[in-house]
Amino acid sequence: MGVLFTIMALQITYVSMLSIRFILMVKGIRYIAALMSAIEIGIYVVGFKLVLDNLDNPLNLLIYCLSYGVGVLLGVKIEERLAIGYITVQIITKTEFEELAALLRGKGYGVTRWAGDGREGKRWVLNIVLPRKLQQQLYRDVLAEDPNCFIVSYEPKAFHGGFLARRM
C-alpha cells in the first residue's frame, strides 16, 4: 500500500508541476519554468522507476496512469488560483447603462469607452485591461449593473502605456 501511495503522490506532484510549468512558459516566465522543469524531471524519474520496479502488481501501473489525470486537473486548478498575467475584457452594453464606465472607474478600473451601433441600436463598448486575479470581481461588478450585457475576454500578448502601465 505504501508503494501505491508513493506512486500516486509522485505522479500527481510531477504532472501538476508540468501543467503549471507549461502555462508559465506560454506566459513568458522562463526562469521559474526552467527551475520547475529541473525539479519535476527528478520526481518523474523516481516515480517511473517505482512503477517499473513493481510491474508485478498491475495496480501500480493503473494508479500511475490515473494519477496523471488527477495531476492535470490539480495543475490547472492551481494555475487558476494563481491567476498569472493580464486579461482584456470587452463589455458591450445598451445606452441606458452609459454610466457603467464611470462606476467602474470609481472602483479603480481603467476603462476606455466608445459608442457603437449594434443590430438593435446604440451600444457602448468598454475595454478594460486588468490583472487576471481581478477578472471575476470585474464580472460581478458589471453584471450587478447590467445583467444582460455582452462580455468577451482574451489574454493580451503585450501592452505598452496607458492606465495599467502607469499603475505598475
CATH number at residue 132: 3.30.70.120
Reported confidence tier of residue 144, pLDDT bands at 50, 70, 90: very high
Reported confidence tier of residue 167, pLDDT bands at 50, 70, 90: low
Whether residues 12 and 52 share a domain: the answer is yes
For residue 66, what pLDDT is reported? 94
Query: Please, which residues have CB within 8 angstroms of residue 136's CB and are 6 or more apart in sequence?
Result: none
What CA–CA distance (Å, rounded) separates 29 from 51? Answer: 32
Whether residues 39 and 51 share a domain: the answer is yes
The CB density around residue 19, as the number of other CB atoms within 10 Å, is 20
**pLDDT tens, 47-76?**
999 989 988 888 988 999 999 999 999 998
Interval 35-42 mean pLDDT: 94
For residue 1, what pLDDT is reported? 75
- Which structural domain, as residue segments, surrounds residue 150? 86-167
Whether residues 10 and 67 share a domain: the answer is yes
Alpha-carbon distance values, 111 to 39, 119, 125 (Å): 41, 24, 10
Whether residues 74 and 12 share a domain: the answer is yes
Last residue of a domain, one of 82, 106, 132: 82
Res. 165: pLDDT tops 70: no
Reported confidence tier of residue 80, pLDDT bands at 50, 70, 90: confident
Last residue of a domain, one of 82, 109, 127: 82
Q: Is the pTM of this model over 0.85?
A: no
Whether residues 49 and 96 share a domain: the answer is no
